[in-house]
Amino acid sequence: MGTKAICPGSFDPVTHGHLDIIRRAARTFDHVVVAILSNPRKQPLFTLQERLEMLGEVTSDLPNVSVQSAEGLLVDFVRSQGAHAIVKGLRPIQDFEYEWQMGMVNRDLDPEIETYFLMSSKEYSYLSSSIVRELAGYGASLDEHVPPRVAERLRAKFASKQKL
Amino acid sequence: MGTKAICPGSFDPVTHGHLDIIRRAARTFDHVVVAILSNPRKQPLFTLQERLEMLGEVTSDLPNVSVQSAEGLLVDFVRSQGAHAIVKGLRPIQDFEYEWQMGMVNRDLDPEIETYFLMSSKEYSYLSSSIVRELAGYGASLDEHVPPRVAERLRAKFASKQKL
Amino acid sequence: MGTKAICPGSFDPVTHGHLDIIRRAARTFDHVVVAILSNPRKQPLFTLQERLEMLGEVTSDLPNVSVQSAEGLLVDFVRSQGAHAIVKGLRPIQDFEYEWQMGMVNRDLDPEIETYFLMSSKEYSYLSSSIVRELAGYGASLDEHVPPRVAERLRAKFASKQKL
Amino acid sequence: MGTKAICPGSFDPVTHGHLDIIRRAARTFDHVVVAILSNPRKQPLFTLQERLEMLGEVTSDLPNVSVQSAEGLLVDFVRSQGAHAIVKGLRPIQDFEYEWQMGMVNRDLDPEIETYFLMSSKEYSYLSSSIVRELAGYGASLDEHVPPRVAERLRAKFASKQKL
Amino acid sequence: MGTKAICPGSFDPVTHGHLDIIRRAARTFDHVVVAILSNPRKQPLFTLQERLEMLGEVTSDLPNVSVQSAEGLLVDFVRSQGAHAIVKGLRPIQDFEYEWQMGMVNRDLDPEIETYFLMSSKEYSYLSSSIVRELAGYGASLDEHVPPRVAERLRAKFASKQKL
Amino acid sequence: MGTKAICPGSFDPVTHGHLDIIRRAARTFDHVVVAILSNPRKQPLFTLQERLEMLGEVTSDLPNVSVQSAEGLLVDFVRSQGAHAIVKGLRPIQDFEYEWQMGMVNRDLDPEIETYFLMSSKEYSYLSSSIVRELAGYGASLDEHVPPRVAERLRAKFASKQKL
In order, the DSSP letters of A98-143 are: HHHHHHHHHHHH-TT-EEEEEEPPGGGTT--HHHHHHHHHTT---T
Q: Which of B42, B141, B160, B163 is catalytic?
A: B42
- Please tell me the distance in Å from D123's CA to the nearest CA on chain E: 6
Catalytic residues of E: 18, 42, 91, 129
Residue E54: predicted pLDDT: 98
Contact A50, A29 (CB under 8 A): no
**Per-residue confidence at C88, pLDDT binned at 50, 70, 90?**
very high
State how far the Cα of A114 lies from the Cα of A112, in Å rounded to an integer: 6
- Please tell me the distance in Å from E49's CA to the nearest CA on chain D: 34
State how far the Cα of E102 lies from the Cα of E95, in Å rounded to an integer: 11
State how far the Cα of A113 lies from the Cα of A74, in Å rounded to an integer: 10
Using CA atoms, how far residue A97 sits from A100, B5, C1, in Å, is 5, 26, 42
- Please tell me the distance in Å from A72's CA to the nearest CA on chain C: 6
Q: What is the mean pLDDT of residues D137-152?
A: 94
State how far the Cα of F2 lies from the Cα of B117, in Å rounded to an integer: 49
Q: Which of A4, A23, A84, A91 is catalytic?
A: A91
Average pLDDT, chain A: 93
Query: Which residues make beta-bridge pairs with E1?
Result: none
Handedness of CA B53, B54, B55, B59 (dihedral sign): positive
Helix (H, G, I), strand (E, B) or coil at C46: coil
CB-based contact B96 F93, cutoff 8 Å: yes
Q: What is the mean pLDDT of residues D6-27?
A: 97
Closest CA to C64 of C7, C118, C102, C141: C7
Residue E102: pLDDT over 70: yes
Domains, chain A, ordered by start: 4-163 (3.40.50.620)
- Please tell me the distance in Å from A123's CA to the nearest CA on chain D: 10
State how far the Cα of F100 lies from the Cα of C61, in Å rounded to an integer: 47
Contact E25, E5 (CB under 8 A): yes
What amino acid occupies position E105?
A: V
Residues of chain F contacting B105 with CB distance shorter than 8 Å: 126, 131, 135
Lowest mean pLDDT among A90-99, B1-10, D68-77: A90-99
Residues of chain B contacting F94 with CB distance shorter than 8 Å: 97-98, 101
Which residue out of A90, A94, A121, A129 would a mutagenesis test of the D interface target, given it has the greatest number of D Cβ atoms within 10 Å?
A94
- Please tell me the distance in Å from F118's CA to the nearest CA on chain D: 5
Residues of chain A contacting F119 with CB distance shorter than 8 Å: none
Question: CB within 8 A of E89, min separation 6: which ones?
Answer: E17, E18, E20, E21, E95, E117, E118, E119, E120
Residue B3: pLDDT over 80: yes
Residue F164: predicted pLDDT: 57
Which residue out of A64, A101, A117 would a mutagenesis test of the B interface target, given it has the greatest number of B Cβ atoms within 10 Å?
A117
- The percent of residues above 90 in pLDDT, for chain B, comes to 81
CB-based contact E92 C100, cutoff 8 Å: yes
Contact D153, D50 (CB under 8 A): yes
Residue B116: predicted pLDDT: 97
- CA–CA–CA angle E156, E157, E163 (5° rounding): 90
Average pLDDT, chain D: 93
Lowest mean pLDDT among A152-161, C4-13, F154-163: F154-163
Pairing of β A85-90 and β A4-9? parallel
Interface residues of C toward E, Cβ cutoff 8 Å, are: 2-3, 24, 27-30, 84-85, 87, 90, 92, 96, 100, 103-104, 107, 112, 114-119, 121-122
Which residues of chain F fall below pLDDT 70? 1, 162-164
Q: What is the mean pLDDT of residues A92-111?
A: 87
Pairing of β C114-119 and β E114-119? antiparallel
User: B144: number of CA atoms within 13 Å, CB side?
Assistant: 15
Residues of chain F contacting B100 with CB distance shorter than 8 Å: 93, 126
Edge-first strand order for the sheet with F65-70 is D65-70, D31-37, D4-9, D85-90, D114-119, F114-119, F85-90, F4-9, F31-37, F65-70
**pLDDT tens for each residue of E10-53:** 999 999 999 999 999 999 999 999 999 987 778 999 999 999 99
Q: What is the mean pLDDT of residues D30-44?
A: 90
Residue E98 phi/psi, 5° resolution? -65, -45
Contact D40, A106 (CB under 8 A): no
The yes-or-no answer on residue C91 being catalytic is yes
State how far the Cα of F123 lies from the Cα of D157, in Å rounded to an integer: 48
Q: List the single residue in F with minimal CA-CA distance to A96.
A: F93
- The percent of residues above 90 in pLDDT, for chain E, comes to 81
SS3 content of chain C, % helix, strand, coil (to 5): 45, 20, 35
Closest CA to E90 of C74, A144, C117: C117
CB-based contact D114 F28, cutoff 8 Å: yes
Touch between chain A and chain E (3+ CB pairs, < 8 Å)?
A: no
Residue D1: pLDDT over 60: no
Length of chain E in terms of residues written: 164
Residues of chain A contacting D73 with CB distance shorter than 8 Å: 135, 138, 140
ipTM at complex level: 0.92
- Please tell me the distance in Å from A84's CA to the nearest CA on chain B: 7
Residue B112: predicted pLDDT: 94
DSSP class per residue in F73-101: -HHHHHHHTT--EEEEEE-TTTSHHHHHH
Question: CB within 8 A of F101, min separation 6: which ones?
Answer: E93, E94, E126, E128, E131
Which contacts qualify for B153-156: CB closer than 8 Å, 24 or more apart? B153/B13, B153/B46, B153/B50, B153/B54, B154/B13
DSSP class per residue in D93-111: TTSHHHHHHHHHHHHHH-T
- Please tell me the distance in Å from E139's CA to the nearest CA on chain C: 33
Question: CB within 8 A of D5, min separation 6: which ones?
Answer: D25, D28, D29, D31, D32, D33, D83, D85, D86, D87, D116
Q: How many angstroms from the chain centroid is the CA of residue B114?
A: 18
State how far the Cα of C140 lies from the Cα of B19, in Å rounded to an integer: 30
The yes-or-no answer on residue A145 being catalytic is no
Residues of chain F contacting A92 with CB distance shorter than 8 Å: 92-93, 125
Touch between chain A and chain F (3+ CB pairs, < 8 Å)?
A: yes
Q: In chain D, where do the E strands start and end?
A: 4-9, 31-37, 65-70, 85-90, 114-119
CB-based contact E135 F100, cutoff 8 Å: no
State how far the Cα of C156 lies from the Cα of D10, in Å rounded to an integer: 44
- Please tell me the distance in Å from F85's CA to the nearest CA on chain E: 20
Helix (H, G, I), strand (E, B) or coil at B106: helix
What burial class does residue F122 get, using C-beta atoms within 10 Å of its C-beta: 0-12 exposed, 13-18 middle, 19+ buried? middle
Using CA atoms, how far residue F102 sits from A112, E93, E128, F88, F106, in Å, is 45, 12, 11, 11, 6
State how far the Cα of D120 lies from the Cα of F32, in Å rounded to an integer: 24
Interface residues of C toward B, Cβ cutoff 8 Å, are: 92-93, 122-123, 125-126
Helix (H, G, I), strand (E, B) or coil at F4: strand
Q: List the single residue in F with minimal CA-CA distance to D83.
A: F28
Lowest mean pLDDT among A37-51, C45-59, C102-116, C139-153: A37-51
Nearest CB partner across the interface for D138, out of C73, C97, C108: C73
Cis before E13 (ω within 30): yes
Touch between chain D and chain A (3+ CB pairs, < 8 Å)?
A: yes
Which residue out of A122, A124, A125, A144 would a mutagenesis test of the F interface target, given it has the greatest number of F Cβ atoms within 10 Å?
A122
Residues of chain D contacting A128 with CB distance shorter than 8 Å: 101
* Number of C–D residue contacts, CB under 8 Å: 23
Contacts of C among chains (3+ CB pairs under 8 A) = A, B, D, E
**pLDDT tens for each residue of A8-63:** 999 999 999 999 999 999 999 999 999 999 877 789 999 999 999 999 999 999 99
Contact C94, C128 (CB under 8 A): yes
**Per-residue confidence at E163, pLDDT binned at 50, 70, 90?**
low
- In C64-110, alpha helices (H): 74-80, 96-109
H/E run at residue E53? helix E48-58
Q: Which of F42, F122, F141, F163 is catalytic?
A: F42
Residue B49: predicted pLDDT: 96
* Number of A–F residue contacts, CB under 8 Å: 14
Residue C38: pLDDT over 90: no
Helix (H, G, I), strand (E, B) or coil at B59: coil
State how far the Cα of F115 lies from the Cα of D117, in Å rounded to an integer: 8
Closest CA to B67 of B128, B14, B136, B140: B14
Touch between chain F and chain C (3+ CB pairs, < 8 Å)?
A: no
Contact C120, C20 (CB under 8 A): yes
State how far the Cα of E5 lies from the Cα of E87, in Å rounded to an integer: 6
Contact B65, B35 (CB under 8 A): no
Using CA atoms, how far residue F49 sits from B52, F12, F41, F77, in Å, is 45, 11, 18, 18
Residue D79: pLDDT over 60: yes
Residues of chain F contacting E131 with CB distance shorter than 8 Å: 101, 105
State how far the Cα of E116 lies from the Cα of C113, in Å rounded to an integer: 15
Interface residues of D toward C, Cβ cutoff 8 Å, are: 93-94, 125-126, 128, 131, 135, 138, 140, 144
Contact D108, D74 (CB under 8 A): no
The yes-or-no answer on residue A18 being catalytic is yes
**pLDDT tens for each residue of B76-118:** 999 999 999 999 999 887 778 888 889 999 999 999 999 999 9
**Per-residue confidence at E2, pLDDT binned at 50, 70, 90?**
confident
Question: CB within 8 A of F143, min separation 6: which ones?
Answer: F151
Residues of chain C contacting E21 with CB distance shorter than 8 Å: none
State how far the Cα of C151 lies from the Cα of C15, in Å rounded to an integer: 10
Touch between chain A and chain B (3+ CB pairs, < 8 Å)?
A: yes
**pLDDT tens for each residue of D86-103:** 999 998 877 788 888 899
State how far the Cα of D3 lies from the Cα of C152, in Å rounded to an integer: 65
Contacts of E among chains (3+ CB pairs under 8 A) = B, C, D, F
